[in-house]
């Protein structure tokens, strides 16, 4: 009898271990901020990293809190990255900090030639600390004892990029075909560019980086490397999303944080569709502009279908398996779940 009890205890304990391992996922949520940006990461150790905080006003901070607390079970935003100083990226931060504690804030600080300045509220909201981020910096997220590690690395910001190493591949064939465009003088060009990895899984978030800066990411050296998931830069506007980036990093999935009237432009849509590696495109919103009928994916891969005024703000959720070898993308509102294999890098 004692032996049976022992066996039961051991098998119960090992099933707890298996359950705990299965919980050690990397989760990413694209929160609907109506054509702004707000991407929430939760590491296997339960730490949270929010990249951008949507627009000013109550709507976007409240949506962030709803996903962070109800879906992700968070009590705090441990790290907040503000990619650049446009209201659709930093505007929700100050109010968010009154609803949920914010730990460390990473942004571009104040710098020479700064084209746009953040609000006084942004510069003074309560948080644990603030740090100016530089190319090559990684966020100090906790490591797990077993299993793949998460890294969140800034590979470029304020139009400066990481130096290539001797192992960084040259990209001459693709670069020969690329031409610069009219310069974007706004703060978009200064966006913080992040690459998030979890084992073999890699995710690219370029904020609103613009065309000529995107070239520097992959020409003459590929500073990004292959990725699985591409957050469509700048909400799908055609001043960004240079195809030389897409054809260098070859993502499997593209996720566009467009609004009902913003982003999702035909040229970007055509470039995404013309990137052979892309198996699926997800949209946070249906493009409802009168000219937008041809550039939407199937309804089930779009989280929100109505106009911004009547929008419920549904999110997209990505979960990378604890072994990092596969990932699942779901739109709970549509009962859609798809599984993808992580590319071997």
Contacts with Zn ion by CB under 5 A lie at 88, 208
Tell me whether residue 26 or residue 31 sits nearer to Zn ion (CB atom). 31
Minimum distance from residue 37 beta carbon to Zn ion (Å): 6
Residue recorded with tokens 């959720």? 317
Minimum distance from residue 47 beta carbon to Zn ion (Å): 25
Parallel, antiparallel or unpaired: strands 129-132 and 150-157: unpaired
Tell me whether residue 32 or residue 208 sits nearer to Zn ion (CB atom). 208
Tell me whether residue 74 or residue 209 sits nearer to Zn ion (CB atom). 209
Minimum distance from residue 235 beta carbon to Zn ion (Å): 6
Minimum distance from residue 303 beta carbon to Zn ion (Å): 18
Closest CA to 200 of 229, 176, 177: 229
d(CA 235, CA 241): 9
Tell me whether residue 27 or residue 88 sits nearer to Zn ion (CB atom). 88
Residues, the chain: 345
Alpha helix (H) ranges present in the chain? 2-23, 59-65, 87-90, 93-99, 120-124, 172-175, 211-218, 243-249, 266-273
Residue recorded with tokens 């400066």? 160
Minimum distance from residue 34 beta carbon to Zn ion (Å): 11
The torsion angles phi and psi of 223, rounded to 5 degrees, stand at -85, -10
Minimum distance from residue 193 beta carbon to Zn ion (Å): 14
Tell me whether residue 168 or residue 186 sits nearer to Zn ion (CB atom). 186
Closest CA to 82 of 99, 67, 94, 71: 94
Tell me whether residue 240 or residue 324 sits nearer to Zn ion (CB atom). 240
∠ CA 274-222-168, nearest 5°, is 145
- Order of strands, edge to edge, in the sheet holding 336-341? 129-132, 102-107, 77-81, 48-51, 39-42, 26-30, 316-320, 326-331, 336-341
């Amino acid at each position: 009898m004692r032996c049976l009890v022992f066996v039961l205890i051991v098998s119960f304990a090992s099933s707890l271990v298996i359950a705990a391992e299965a919980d050690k996922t990397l989760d990413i949520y694209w929160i609907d901020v109506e054509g702004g940006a707000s991407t929430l990461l939760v590491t296997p150790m339960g730490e949270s990293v929010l990249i951008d905080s949507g627009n000013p006003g109550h709507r976007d901070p409240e949506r962030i809190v709803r996903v962070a607390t109800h879906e992700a079970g968070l009590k705090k935003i441990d790290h907040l990255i503000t990619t650049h100083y446009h209201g659709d990226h930093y505007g929700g931060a100050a109010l968010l900090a009154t609803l949920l504690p914010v730990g460390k804030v990473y942004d571009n600080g104040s710098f020479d030639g700064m084209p746009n300045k953040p609000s006084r509220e942004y510069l003074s909201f309560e948080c644990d600390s603030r740090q100016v981020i530089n190319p090559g910096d990684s966020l100090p997220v906790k490591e797990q004892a077993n299993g793949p590690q998460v890294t969140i690395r800034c590979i470029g910001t304020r139009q400066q990029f990481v130096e290539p190493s001797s192992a960084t591949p040259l990209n001459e064939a693709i670069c020969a075909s690329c031409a610069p465009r009219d310069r974007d003088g706004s703060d978009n060009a200064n966006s913080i560019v992040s690459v998030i990895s979890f084992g073999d899984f890699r995710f690219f978030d370029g904020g609103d980086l613009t065309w000529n800066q995107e070239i520097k990411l992959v020409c003459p050296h590929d500073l990004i490397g292959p990725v699985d998931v591409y957050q469509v830069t700048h909400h799908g506007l055609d001043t960004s999303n240079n195809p030389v980036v897409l054809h260098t990093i070859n993502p499997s999935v593209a996720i566009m944080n467009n609004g009902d009237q913003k982003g999702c432009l035909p040229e970007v849509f055509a470039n995404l569709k013309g990137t052979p590696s892309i198996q699926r495109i997800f949209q946070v919103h249906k493009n409802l502009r009168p000219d937008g009928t041809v550039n939407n994916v199937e309804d089930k891969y779009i989280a929100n279908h109505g106009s911004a005024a009547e929008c419920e703000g549904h999110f997209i959720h990505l979960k990378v398996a604890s072994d990092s070898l596969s990932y699942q993308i779901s739109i709970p509102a549509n009962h859609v779940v798809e599984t993808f294999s992580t590319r071997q890098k």
